[in-house]
C-alpha cells in the first residue's frame, strides 16, 4: 500500500506550519505502507492543482491531507467537506473567495472514505486527544479536502481519501493567551497512529462519535 500524505506550507507569515512540520517527519514506512510526503501551498486552486499532480505522479492507494486548526486542542479527523469557499482572510497569495463553489459540477458535499472512527480510537489509545470533526471550515483546508474528493469522484475512483486537522504548536501560542496547542512529537505520533488505523481497517468501526450541536 502507498499512502500520500500532504501538509500545508507556513501560513500568513508564520515561520512554521505544524501540518507539514509533522508530515515531513513521518517514517517512510508505517504498518508496512509506503509513505510519500508532499508540501501543499496554502492557496486556493493552486493547492488542488499541486495535489492532483502529486496523485498523478505517485499513484497512491490512499491520500491523507493534513492542515492546521488553530484553537482546537485535539487531533480532529474530518468527516465531510462542502462545496463552498468563503474566506474570512486572504490565503498566502491574498485570494479571498466569498461564497464561491469549489467545482460547479461537484457534489454539494463529499464524505471521507477513511475509517475515521477507527483513526480517532487508535489515536486515543496512544494517550493523545482526538475526535471526529463535522466541519472543516470554509477556508483552504475544506478547499483541499473537497478538491481531493472531487478528484477521487471524477478522476481517481480507486483511491480513498480524507483529512486531519492538527492544533497549533506551543511556539505558535506564546502570544495567544489561553489558546490550545500540542507538541510536535505528539502530532507526529498521532498521525502515525491514524495511518496505522487506515492500514488495519478496511471498514470503519461502529461506535458513536456524534454530537448534539
User: Is the CB of residue 163 less than 8 Å from the CB of residue 67?
Assistant: yes
Strand order of the sheet with strand 75-78? Answer: 29-30, 33-40, 2-8, 62-68, 160-166, 75-78, 130-133
Query: Grid coordinates in use for 20?
Result: 507539514
Ramachandran angles phi, psi of 29, nearest 5°? -135, 130
Helices (H), the chain: 18-23, 46-58, 116-125, 140-154, 184-200
Enumerate the active-site residues: 78, 141, 165
Cβ of 51: how many Cβ atoms within 10 Å?
22
136, 80 in Cβ contact below 8 A? Answer: yes
Amino acid at each position: 500500500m502507498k499512502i500520500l500524505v500532504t501538509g500545508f506550507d507556513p501560513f500568513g507569515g508564520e515561520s512554521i506550519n505544524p501540518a507539514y512540520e509533522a508530515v515531513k517527519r513521518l517514517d517512510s514506512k508505517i504498518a508496512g505502507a509506503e509513505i510519500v510526503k508532499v508540501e501543499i501551498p496554502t492557496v486556493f486552486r493552486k493547492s488542488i492543482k499541486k495535489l492532483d499532480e502529486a496523485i498523478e505522479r505517485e499513484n497512491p492507494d490512499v491520500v491523507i491531507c493534513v492542515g492546521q486548526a488553530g484553537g482546537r486542542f485535539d487531533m480532529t479527523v474530518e468527516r465531510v467537506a462542502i462545496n463552498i469557499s468563503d474566506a474570512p482572510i486572504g490565503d498566502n497569495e491574498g485570494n479571498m473567495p466569498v461564497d464561491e463553489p469549489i467545482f460547479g459540477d461537484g457534489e454539494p458535499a463529499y464524505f471521507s472514505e477513511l475509517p475515521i472512527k477507527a483513526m480517532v480510537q487508535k489515536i486515543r489509545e496512544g494517550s493523545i486527544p482526538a475526535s471526529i470533526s463535522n466541519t472543516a471550515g470554509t477556508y483552504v483546508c475544506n478547499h483541499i479536502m473537497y478538491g481531493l474528493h472531487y478528484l477521487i469522484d471524477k478522476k481517481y475512483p480507486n483511491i480513498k481519501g480524507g483529512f486531519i486537522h492538527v492544533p497549533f504548536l506551543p511556539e505558535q501560542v506564546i502570544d495567544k493567551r489561553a489558546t490550545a496547542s500540542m507538541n510536535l512529537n505528539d502530532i507526529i505520533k498521532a498521525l502515525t497512529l491514524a495511518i496505522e488505523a487506515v492500514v488495519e481497517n478496511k471498514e470503519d468501526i461502529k461506535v458513536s462519535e456524534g454530537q448534539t450541536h
